Chains A and B, each alone.
Chain A
Amino acid sequence: MLSRRIIPCLDVRDGKVVKGVRFRDHVVMGEIVDLALRYRDEGADELVFYDITASPEGRSVDRGWVERVARVIDIPFCVAGGIRSVDEARAVLHAGADKISVNSPALERPALIDELAAAFGVQCVVVGIDSLRDADGAWRVRQYTGDPGKTQALARKTMDWMIEAQQRGAGEIVLNCMGSDGVRQGYDLEQLSKARALCQVPLIASGGAGASEHFREAFTEADVDGALAASVFHSGAIAIPALKHYLHGQGIAVRL
Protein backbone atom coordinates (compact mmCIF):
# COMPACT_ATOMS: atom_id res chain seq x y z
CA MET A 1 0.00 0.00 0.00
CA LEU A 2 1.26 3.44 -0.91
CA SER A 3 2.28 5.52 2.09
CA ARG A 4 1.15 9.09 2.60
CA ARG A 5 4.18 11.33 2.42
CA ILE A 6 5.46 13.77 5.03
CA ILE A 7 7.45 16.45 3.24
CA PRO A 8 9.48 19.15 4.98
CA CYS A 9 9.81 22.20 2.80
CA LEU A 10 13.00 24.18 2.93
CA ASP A 11 12.78 27.69 1.58
CA VAL A 12 16.20 28.69 0.35
CA ARG A 13 17.44 32.25 0.20
CA ASP A 14 21.08 33.23 -0.36
CA GLY A 15 22.20 29.66 0.30
CA LYS A 16 20.40 29.32 3.67
CA VAL A 17 17.10 27.84 4.73
CA VAL A 18 14.68 30.57 5.78
CA LYS A 19 11.09 30.79 6.89
CA GLY A 20 8.64 33.67 6.93
CA VAL A 21 5.12 34.14 8.17
CA ARG A 22 2.54 34.46 5.41
CA PHE A 23 5.46 34.52 2.99
CA ARG A 24 7.01 37.64 4.59
CA ASP A 25 9.68 38.54 7.15
CA HIS A 26 12.07 35.66 6.51
CA VAL A 27 14.42 34.48 9.24
CA VAL A 28 17.36 32.11 8.76
CA MET A 29 16.63 28.57 10.00
CA GLY A 30 19.93 26.89 9.17
CA GLU A 31 22.30 25.46 6.59
CA ILE A 32 20.79 23.58 3.64
CA VAL A 33 22.77 20.34 3.89
CA ASP A 34 22.52 20.21 7.71
CA LEU A 35 18.75 20.53 7.66
CA ALA A 36 18.40 18.11 4.76
CA LEU A 37 20.37 15.48 6.68
CA ARG A 38 18.43 16.11 9.87
CA TYR A 39 15.11 15.54 8.14
CA ARG A 40 16.39 12.47 6.36
CA ASP A 41 17.47 11.01 9.70
CA GLU A 42 14.10 11.85 11.27
CA GLY A 43 12.25 9.91 8.56
CA ALA A 44 11.07 12.58 6.15
CA ASP A 45 9.76 10.88 3.01
CA GLU A 46 10.87 13.58 0.63
CA LEU A 47 12.26 17.09 0.71
CA VAL A 48 11.28 20.14 -1.26
CA PHE A 49 13.66 23.05 -1.71
CA TYR A 50 12.28 26.34 -2.89
CA ASP A 51 14.76 28.95 -4.01
CA ILE A 52 12.19 31.58 -3.10
CA THR A 53 13.88 34.62 -4.59
CA ALA A 54 14.99 33.01 -7.88
CA SER A 55 11.79 33.81 -9.76
CA PRO A 56 11.31 37.39 -8.50
CA GLU A 57 15.00 38.05 -9.26
CA GLY A 58 14.67 36.54 -12.72
CA ARG A 59 17.37 33.91 -12.21
CA SER A 60 17.43 30.12 -12.05
CA VAL A 61 18.20 28.00 -9.03
CA ASP A 62 21.82 27.69 -7.92
CA ARG A 63 22.82 24.13 -8.77
CA GLY A 64 25.82 24.06 -6.44
CA TRP A 65 23.80 23.26 -3.36
CA VAL A 66 21.58 20.87 -5.35
CA GLU A 67 24.63 18.73 -6.01
CA ARG A 68 25.79 18.95 -2.39
CA VAL A 69 22.38 17.76 -1.21
CA ALA A 70 22.26 14.96 -3.80
CA ARG A 71 25.58 13.56 -2.60
CA VAL A 72 24.49 13.09 0.99
CA ILE A 73 20.73 12.55 0.79
CA ASP A 74 19.20 9.15 0.03
CA ILE A 75 15.56 10.19 -0.09
CA PRO A 76 13.94 11.95 -3.03
CA PHE A 77 14.02 15.69 -3.30
CA CYS A 78 12.42 18.28 -5.49
CA VAL A 79 13.86 21.64 -6.41
CA ALA A 80 11.91 24.76 -7.29
CA GLY A 81 12.99 28.23 -8.15
CA GLY A 82 12.96 30.16 -11.37
CA ILE A 83 13.30 27.15 -13.70
CA ARG A 84 12.29 28.65 -17.04
CA SER A 85 13.53 26.21 -19.66
CA VAL A 86 14.26 22.59 -20.42
CA ASP A 87 17.99 23.33 -20.23
CA GLU A 88 17.72 24.86 -16.75
CA ALA A 89 15.60 21.93 -15.61
CA ARG A 90 18.12 19.47 -17.04
CA ALA A 91 20.93 21.14 -15.13
CA VAL A 92 19.03 20.79 -11.86
CA LEU A 93 18.03 17.17 -12.56
CA HIS A 94 21.57 16.27 -13.59
CA ALA A 95 22.85 17.90 -10.40
CA GLY A 96 20.85 15.20 -8.63
CA ALA A 97 17.34 16.50 -8.01
CA ASP A 98 14.63 13.90 -8.56
CA LYS A 99 11.94 16.34 -9.55
CA ILE A 100 11.70 19.95 -10.51
CA SER A 101 8.83 22.17 -9.54
CA VAL A 102 7.68 25.12 -11.60
CA ASN A 103 5.39 27.86 -10.45
CA SER A 104 5.76 31.47 -11.62
CA PRO A 105 7.58 30.60 -14.89
CA ALA A 106 4.77 28.20 -15.80
CA LEU A 107 2.30 31.02 -15.31
CA GLU A 108 4.42 33.25 -17.55
CA ARG A 109 4.53 30.58 -20.24
CA PRO A 110 2.30 27.51 -19.67
CA ALA A 111 3.91 25.59 -22.57
CA LEU A 112 6.93 25.19 -20.28
CA ILE A 113 5.02 22.36 -18.56
CA ASP A 114 4.51 20.54 -21.89
CA GLU A 115 8.18 20.94 -22.77
CA LEU A 116 9.40 19.63 -19.41
CA ALA A 117 7.05 16.63 -19.52
CA ALA A 118 8.17 15.78 -23.05
CA ALA A 119 11.84 16.05 -22.12
CA PHE A 120 11.87 14.24 -18.77
CA GLY A 121 8.52 12.49 -18.34
CA VAL A 122 5.61 13.70 -16.23
CA GLN A 123 7.04 12.03 -13.12
CA CYS A 124 9.77 14.68 -12.92
CA VAL A 125 7.43 17.62 -13.35
CA VAL A 126 5.74 19.18 -10.33
CA VAL A 127 3.60 22.26 -10.70
CA GLY A 128 3.40 24.43 -7.61
CA ILE A 129 0.38 26.66 -7.27
CA ASP A 130 0.12 29.56 -4.82
CA SER A 131 -3.52 30.22 -4.22
CA LEU A 132 -5.50 32.81 -2.27
CA ARG A 133 -9.22 33.33 -1.86
CA ASP A 134 -10.43 36.65 -3.18
CA ALA A 135 -13.24 38.81 -1.83
CA ASP A 136 -15.68 37.24 -4.28
CA GLY A 137 -15.04 33.82 -2.75
CA ALA A 138 -13.06 32.40 -5.69
CA TRP A 139 -9.55 31.00 -5.26
CA ARG A 140 -7.10 32.62 -7.63
CA VAL A 141 -3.46 32.14 -8.41
CA ARG A 142 -0.67 34.36 -7.11
CA GLN A 143 2.65 34.82 -8.90
CA TYR A 144 6.16 35.76 -7.66
CA THR A 145 5.16 35.08 -4.06
CA GLY A 146 8.79 34.79 -2.95
CA ASP A 147 8.98 38.57 -2.83
CA PRO A 148 5.95 40.32 -1.27
CA GLY A 149 6.80 43.49 -3.21
CA LYS A 150 6.53 41.64 -6.51
CA THR A 151 3.65 39.29 -5.76
CA GLN A 152 0.91 39.57 -8.33
CA ALA A 153 -2.71 38.52 -8.13
CA LEU A 154 -3.77 36.87 -11.37
CA ALA A 155 -7.21 36.61 -12.94
CA ARG A 156 -6.58 32.88 -13.35
CA LYS A 157 -8.69 30.70 -11.09
CA THR A 158 -6.77 28.13 -9.08
CA MET A 159 -8.87 25.13 -10.10
CA ASP A 160 -8.78 26.05 -13.80
CA TRP A 161 -5.02 26.36 -13.67
CA MET A 162 -4.65 23.07 -11.84
CA ILE A 163 -6.66 21.29 -14.55
CA GLU A 164 -4.68 22.94 -17.33
CA ALA A 165 -1.38 22.08 -15.65
CA GLN A 166 -2.35 18.39 -15.55
CA GLN A 167 -3.42 18.43 -19.18
CA ARG A 168 -0.07 19.92 -20.09
CA GLY A 169 1.87 17.24 -18.24
CA ALA A 170 2.16 17.98 -14.53
CA GLY A 171 2.94 14.74 -12.72
CA GLU A 172 2.22 16.19 -9.31
CA ILE A 173 0.51 19.28 -7.94
CA VAL A 174 1.60 21.15 -4.82
CA LEU A 175 -1.25 23.39 -3.76
CA ASN A 176 -0.03 26.08 -1.44
CA CYS A 177 -3.00 27.67 0.28
CA MET A 178 -1.56 31.08 1.12
CA GLY A 179 -4.45 32.08 3.36
CA SER A 180 -3.46 29.41 5.85
CA ASP A 181 0.31 29.45 5.31
CA GLY A 182 2.52 30.13 8.29
CA VAL A 183 -0.29 30.56 10.80
CA ARG A 184 -0.52 26.93 11.93
CA GLN A 185 -4.30 26.72 12.06
CA GLY A 186 -4.53 23.70 9.81
CA TYR A 187 -4.51 22.97 6.10
CA ASP A 188 -7.23 24.51 3.94
CA LEU A 189 -9.35 21.36 3.80
CA GLU A 190 -12.12 23.01 1.80
CA GLN A 191 -9.81 24.11 -0.98
CA LEU A 192 -7.78 20.87 -0.93
CA SER A 193 -10.92 18.73 -1.14
CA LYS A 194 -12.12 20.75 -4.11
CA ALA A 195 -8.71 20.32 -5.72
CA ARG A 196 -8.62 16.60 -4.96
CA ALA A 197 -11.81 16.02 -6.89
CA LEU A 198 -10.18 17.63 -9.95
CA CYS A 199 -6.68 16.23 -9.56
CA GLN A 200 -5.82 12.89 -11.20
CA VAL A 201 -2.14 13.05 -10.27
CA PRO A 202 -0.58 13.11 -6.78
CA LEU A 203 -1.69 16.17 -4.79
CA ILE A 204 0.43 17.67 -2.03
CA ALA A 205 -1.10 19.92 0.62
CA SER A 206 0.86 22.98 1.62
CA GLY A 207 0.21 25.78 4.07
CA GLY A 208 -1.17 25.75 7.58
CA ALA A 209 0.21 22.73 9.45
CA GLY A 210 0.39 23.47 13.17
CA ALA A 211 -0.41 20.17 14.87
CA SER A 212 -0.34 16.44 14.12
CA GLU A 213 -4.13 16.39 13.72
CA HIS A 214 -3.82 18.79 10.82
CA PHE A 215 -1.86 16.18 8.89
CA ARG A 216 -4.44 13.52 9.74
CA GLU A 217 -7.25 15.78 8.50
CA ALA A 218 -5.44 16.50 5.26
CA PHE A 219 -5.03 12.78 4.59
CA THR A 220 -8.44 11.55 5.73
CA GLU A 221 -10.64 14.49 4.74
CA ALA A 222 -8.91 15.91 1.66
CA ASP A 223 -7.30 12.59 0.58
CA VAL A 224 -4.02 14.27 -0.35
CA ASP A 225 -1.01 12.08 -1.17
CA GLY A 226 1.45 14.12 0.81
CA ALA A 227 1.55 16.96 3.27
CA LEU A 228 4.19 19.62 3.16
CA ALA A 229 5.19 21.79 6.10
CA ALA A 230 8.07 24.00 7.09
CA SER A 231 7.96 26.01 10.29
CA VAL A 232 6.55 23.29 12.54
CA PHE A 233 9.40 21.03 11.52
CA HIS A 234 12.13 23.68 11.59
CA SER A 235 11.10 24.84 15.06
CA GLY A 236 10.76 21.33 16.43
CA ALA A 237 7.10 21.93 17.31
CA ILE A 238 6.34 18.68 15.50
CA ALA A 239 8.88 15.86 15.43
CA ILE A 240 8.52 13.70 12.32
CA PRO A 241 8.94 10.31 14.12
CA ALA A 242 6.19 11.20 16.62
CA LEU A 243 3.98 12.52 13.82
CA LYS A 244 4.36 9.31 11.84
CA HIS A 245 3.58 7.11 14.82
CA TYR A 246 0.51 9.19 15.52
CA LEU A 247 -0.67 8.86 11.91
CA HIS A 248 0.05 5.12 11.92
CA GLY A 249 -2.06 4.83 15.07
CA GLN A 250 -4.85 6.63 13.25
CA GLY A 251 -4.83 3.95 10.56
CA ILE A 252 -3.03 6.05 7.96
CA ALA A 253 -0.41 4.30 5.83
CA VAL A 254 3.00 5.84 6.49
CA ARG A 255 6.62 4.72 6.25
CA LEU A 256 7.89 4.12 9.78
Chain B
Amino acid sequence: MSVVLVDAGGTNIGSVRYALQRLGVDAALTADAATIRAADKVILPGVGAAGPGMARLRELGLVELMRSLTQPVLGVCLGMQLLCAHSEEGDTACLGLIPAPVRRFIEAPGLRVPHMGWNQLRAKQPHPLLAGLGDDDQAYFVHSYAVPVGDWSLATSDYGEAFSAVIARDNFHGMQFHPERSAAVGAKLLQNFLKL
Protein backbone atom coordinates (compact mmCIF):
# COMPACT_ATOMS: atom_id res chain seq x y z
CA MET B 1 0.00 0.00 0.00
CA SER B 2 1.31 3.45 -0.88
CA VAL B 3 0.60 6.33 1.46
CA VAL B 4 1.63 9.88 0.67
CA LEU B 5 1.88 12.93 2.84
CA VAL B 6 1.08 16.09 0.91
CA ASP B 7 3.94 18.46 1.59
CA ALA B 8 2.03 21.71 1.92
CA GLY B 9 4.46 23.17 4.41
CA GLY B 10 2.83 22.12 7.68
CA THR B 11 5.32 21.75 10.50
CA ASN B 12 3.77 18.51 11.76
CA ILE B 13 4.62 16.57 8.62
CA GLY B 14 7.62 14.91 10.28
CA SER B 15 5.55 13.86 13.27
CA VAL B 16 2.83 12.34 11.09
CA ARG B 17 5.46 10.52 9.07
CA TYR B 18 7.03 9.06 12.23
CA ALA B 19 3.59 8.01 13.50
CA LEU B 20 3.00 6.11 10.25
CA GLN B 21 6.46 4.53 10.54
CA ARG B 22 5.52 3.27 14.01
CA LEU B 23 2.58 1.57 12.27
CA GLY B 24 4.94 0.02 9.74
CA VAL B 25 4.10 2.36 6.85
CA ASP B 26 6.75 4.42 5.14
CA ALA B 27 4.86 7.38 3.70
CA ALA B 28 6.44 9.48 1.00
CA LEU B 29 6.51 13.22 1.46
CA THR B 30 5.51 14.79 -1.82
CA ALA B 31 4.01 17.75 -3.62
CA ASP B 32 4.06 15.95 -6.96
CA ALA B 33 0.60 15.67 -8.50
CA ALA B 34 1.19 12.35 -10.28
CA THR B 35 2.57 10.72 -7.11
CA ILE B 36 -0.37 11.94 -5.07
CA ARG B 37 -2.89 10.79 -7.67
CA ALA B 38 -1.35 7.32 -7.80
CA ALA B 39 -1.29 6.78 -4.02
CA ASP B 40 -3.64 4.39 -2.21
CA LYS B 41 -4.06 6.82 0.67
CA VAL B 42 -3.45 10.56 0.85
CA ILE B 43 -2.83 12.47 4.06
CA LEU B 44 -2.88 16.27 4.24
CA PRO B 45 -1.20 17.30 7.48
CA GLY B 46 -1.17 20.89 8.51
CA VAL B 47 -0.23 23.31 11.21
CA GLY B 48 -0.59 27.02 10.72
CA ALA B 49 -3.21 29.33 9.31
CA ALA B 50 -5.89 28.63 6.67
CA GLY B 51 -4.95 31.47 4.30
CA PRO B 52 -1.27 30.53 3.90
CA GLY B 53 -2.29 26.85 3.80
CA MET B 54 -4.57 27.38 0.80
CA ALA B 55 -2.05 29.73 -0.82
CA ARG B 56 0.57 27.01 -0.57
CA LEU B 57 -1.75 24.43 -2.21
CA ARG B 58 -2.42 26.93 -5.02
CA GLU B 59 1.30 27.64 -5.50
CA LEU B 60 1.94 23.92 -5.76
CA GLY B 61 -0.91 23.59 -8.24
CA LEU B 62 -2.63 21.04 -6.01
CA VAL B 63 -6.07 22.58 -5.49
CA GLU B 64 -7.84 20.89 -8.40
CA LEU B 65 -5.83 17.73 -7.85
CA MET B 66 -7.02 17.48 -4.22
CA ARG B 67 -10.60 17.99 -5.40
CA SER B 68 -10.27 15.22 -7.97
CA LEU B 69 -8.99 12.50 -5.63
CA THR B 70 -11.10 9.38 -5.28
CA GLN B 71 -8.96 7.33 -2.87
CA PRO B 72 -9.31 7.79 0.93
CA VAL B 73 -7.99 11.20 1.97
CA LEU B 74 -7.30 12.30 5.54
CA GLY B 75 -6.82 15.90 6.61
CA VAL B 76 -5.21 16.45 10.00
CA CYS B 77 -5.82 19.60 12.07
CA LEU B 78 -5.44 22.50 9.60
CA GLY B 79 -5.44 19.86 6.86
CA MET B 80 -8.96 18.90 7.95
CA GLN B 81 -10.07 22.53 7.93
CA LEU B 82 -8.69 22.98 4.42
CA LEU B 83 -11.03 20.19 3.23
CA CYS B 84 -14.00 22.27 4.38
CA ALA B 85 -15.92 24.98 2.53
CA HIS B 86 -14.74 28.16 4.17
CA SER B 87 -12.73 29.28 7.18
CA GLU B 88 -13.28 32.39 9.24
CA GLU B 89 -9.51 32.45 9.67
CA GLY B 90 -8.49 35.14 7.21
CA ASP B 91 -11.91 34.76 5.48
CA THR B 92 -10.49 31.93 3.42
CA ALA B 93 -12.26 29.87 0.77
CA CYS B 94 -11.07 26.28 1.29
CA LEU B 95 -11.25 23.15 -0.87
CA GLY B 96 -14.99 22.66 -0.38
CA LEU B 97 -14.82 18.87 -0.23
CA ILE B 98 -16.78 18.70 3.01
CA PRO B 99 -19.58 21.31 3.10
CA ALA B 100 -18.72 22.58 6.57
CA PRO B 101 -17.75 26.02 7.86
CA VAL B 102 -14.72 26.62 10.11
CA ARG B 103 -15.33 29.08 12.92
CA ARG B 104 -13.22 30.64 15.65
CA PHE B 105 -13.75 29.53 19.23
CA ILE B 106 -15.22 32.33 21.30
CA GLU B 107 -13.26 33.08 24.47
CA ALA B 108 -15.35 32.87 27.63
CA PRO B 109 -14.54 32.62 31.33
CA GLY B 110 -12.66 29.36 31.81
CA LEU B 111 -12.51 28.85 28.04
CA ARG B 112 -9.05 29.61 26.83
CA VAL B 113 -8.20 29.88 23.14
CA PRO B 114 -6.37 28.05 21.66
CA HIS B 115 -8.11 24.89 22.79
CA MET B 116 -4.99 23.02 23.76
CA GLY B 117 -4.76 19.61 25.39
CA TRP B 118 -6.43 16.24 25.68
CA ASN B 119 -10.16 16.05 25.24
CA GLN B 120 -12.69 13.26 25.07
CA LEU B 121 -13.92 11.93 21.74
CA ARG B 122 -17.56 10.92 21.41
CA ALA B 123 -18.70 8.88 18.43
CA LYS B 124 -21.71 10.46 16.74
CA GLN B 125 -22.27 8.05 13.90
CA PRO B 126 -20.76 4.64 13.23
CA HIS B 127 -17.89 4.63 10.76
CA PRO B 128 -14.93 2.31 10.12
CA LEU B 129 -12.63 5.23 10.93
CA LEU B 130 -13.86 5.03 14.55
CA ALA B 131 -13.51 1.26 14.95
CA GLY B 132 -12.53 0.36 18.49
CA LEU B 133 -12.95 3.88 19.85
CA GLY B 134 -13.78 3.69 23.57
CA ASP B 135 -16.09 5.99 25.55
CA ASP B 136 -13.23 7.47 27.56
CA ASP B 137 -10.73 7.80 24.75
CA GLN B 138 -9.06 11.18 24.52
CA ALA B 139 -7.06 12.87 21.80
CA TYR B 140 -4.67 15.80 21.72
CA PHE B 141 -6.02 19.05 20.26
CA VAL B 142 -4.30 22.35 19.49
CA HIS B 143 -6.49 24.79 17.57
CA SER B 144 -8.30 28.10 17.70
CA TYR B 145 -10.78 27.37 14.91
CA ALA B 146 -13.25 24.52 14.79
CA VAL B 147 -15.93 22.91 12.63
CA PRO B 148 -19.41 22.97 14.18
CA VAL B 149 -21.41 19.79 14.57
CA GLY B 150 -23.30 18.79 11.44
CA ASP B 151 -24.11 15.92 9.09
CA TRP B 152 -20.38 15.66 8.44
CA SER B 153 -19.52 14.91 12.09
CA LEU B 154 -18.43 11.35 12.85
CA ALA B 155 -17.20 12.20 16.34
CA THR B 156 -17.48 15.29 18.48
CA SER B 157 -15.73 16.81 21.42
CA ASP B 158 -16.75 19.53 23.88
CA TYR B 159 -15.12 22.85 24.52
CA GLY B 160 -17.73 25.31 25.68
CA GLU B 161 -19.97 23.65 23.14
CA ALA B 162 -19.78 20.54 21.01
CA PHE B 163 -17.64 20.74 17.88
CA SER B 164 -16.52 18.26 15.22
CA ALA B 165 -13.52 16.13 16.16
CA VAL B 166 -13.75 13.74 13.20
CA ILE B 167 -15.56 14.54 9.95
CA ALA B 168 -16.13 12.77 6.66
CA ARG B 169 -17.87 13.00 3.36
CA ASP B 170 -17.45 10.37 0.67
CA ASN B 171 -13.71 9.58 0.49
CA PHE B 172 -12.65 12.71 2.40
CA HIS B 173 -11.98 12.49 6.14
CA GLY B 174 -10.66 14.89 8.72
CA MET B 175 -9.37 14.78 12.29
CA GLN B 176 -9.22 18.05 14.16
CA PHE B 177 -6.88 16.60 16.80
CA HIS B 178 -3.39 15.30 16.18
CA PRO B 179 -3.54 11.49 15.86
CA GLU B 180 0.26 11.50 15.58
CA ARG B 181 0.40 12.95 19.10
CA SER B 182 -2.57 11.17 20.65
CA ALA B 183 -0.78 8.10 22.00
CA ALA B 184 -2.54 4.73 21.57
CA VAL B 185 -5.87 6.33 20.65
CA GLY B 186 -4.27 8.26 17.81
CA ALA B 187 -2.42 5.21 16.56
CA LYS B 188 -5.68 3.25 16.49
CA LEU B 189 -7.46 5.93 14.45
CA LEU B 190 -4.57 6.26 12.01
CA GLN B 191 -4.54 2.49 11.66
CA ASN B 192 -8.28 2.61 10.93
CA PHE B 193 -7.67 5.14 8.17
CA LEU B 194 -4.98 2.95 6.63
CA LYS B 195 -7.50 0.09 6.53
CA LEU B 196 -10.24 2.08 4.73
Which residues of A are at the interface with B, using a C-beta cutoff of 8 A? Answer: 1-5, 40, 45-46, 67, 70-71, 74-76, 90, 93-96, 98-99, 120-124, 171-172, 199-203, 223, 225-226, 255-256
A94, B14: Cβ atoms closer than 8 Å: yes
A200, B107: Cβ atoms closer than 8 Å: yes
Q: Please, could you name 30 A-B residue pairs with CB atoms under 8 Å apart, sorted by A?
A: A1-B119, A2-B159, A3-B117, A3-B119, A71-B18, A74-B183, A74-B184, A75-B140, A75-B182, A76-B140, A76-B142, A76-B178, A94-B13, A94-B14, A98-B142, A98-B178, A120-B48, A121-B144, A122-B144, A123-B114, A123-B143, A171-B114, A172-B114, A201-B112, A201-B113, A223-B110, A225-B112, A225-B116, A255-B138, A256-B136
A74, A90, A202: the one within 8 Å of B182 (CB): A74
Closest chain B CB from A203 CB (angstroms): 8
- Sort A-B residue pairs by CB-CB distance and give the 3 closest, nearest first: A93-B11, A3-B118, A255-B118
A71, B21: Cβ atoms closer than 8 Å: yes
B12, B159, B180: the one within 8 Å of A74 (CB): B180
Mark contacts of B141-167 with chain A using CB atoms, 8 A cut-off: 1 yes-contact digit, 0 otherwise: 011100000000000001100000000
Closest chain A CB from B150 CB (angstroms): 22
Main secondary structure of the interface of B (DSSP, over half): mixed
> Within the assembled complex, what's the spacing in Å between the Cα atoms of A67 and B15?
9
Mark contacts of B93-117 with chain A using CB atoms, 8 A cut-off: 1 yes-contact digit, 0 otherwise: 0000000000000010010111111
B47, A121: Cβ atoms closer than 8 Å: yes
Closest chain B CB from A3 CB (angstroms): 4
Residues of B near A95 (CB, < 8 A) are 14
> Within the assembled complex, what's the spacing in Å between the Cα atoms of A96 and B181?
11
Name the residue on B nearest A95 (C-beta).
Answer: B14
Closest chain B CB from A253 CB (angstroms): 9
Residues of A near B15 (CB, < 8 A) are 70, 96, 98
A40, A202, A255, A256: the one within 8 Å of B116 (CB): A202
> Within the assembled complex, what's the spacing in Å between the Cα atoms of A172 and B48?
16
> Within the assembled complex, what's the spacing in Å between the Cα atoms of A204 and B171?
39
A90, B11: Cβ atoms closer than 8 Å: yes
| Known A3-B117, A225-B112, A225-B117: A120·B11 in contact at CB below 8 Å | yes
* Contacts of B5-42 to chain A: CB distance below 8 A: 11-15, 18-19, 21-22
A2, B117: Cβ atoms closer than 8 Å: yes
Cβ of B186 under 8 Å from chain A? yes
Residues of B near A94 (CB, < 8 A) are 11, 13-14
B47, A120: Cβ atoms closer than 8 Å: yes
A74, B22: Cβ atoms closer than 8 Å: yes
A96, B18: Cβ atoms closer than 8 Å: yes
Residues of B near A2 (CB, < 8 A) are 115, 117-119, 159
Name the residue on B nearest A4 (C-beta).
Answer: B117
Cβ of B85 under 8 Å from chain A? no
> Within the assembled complex, what's the spacing in Å between the Cα atoms of A202 and B113?
7
Residues of B near A70 (CB, < 8 A) are 14-15, 18
Residues of B near A3 (CB, < 8 A) are 117-119, 138
B11, B107, B140: the one within 8 Å of A124 (CB): B11
A123, B159: Cβ atoms closer than 8 Å: no
Closest chain B CB from A77 CB (angstroms): 8
A45, A76, A122: the one within 8 Å of B114 (CB): A122
B19, A74: Cβ atoms closer than 8 Å: yes
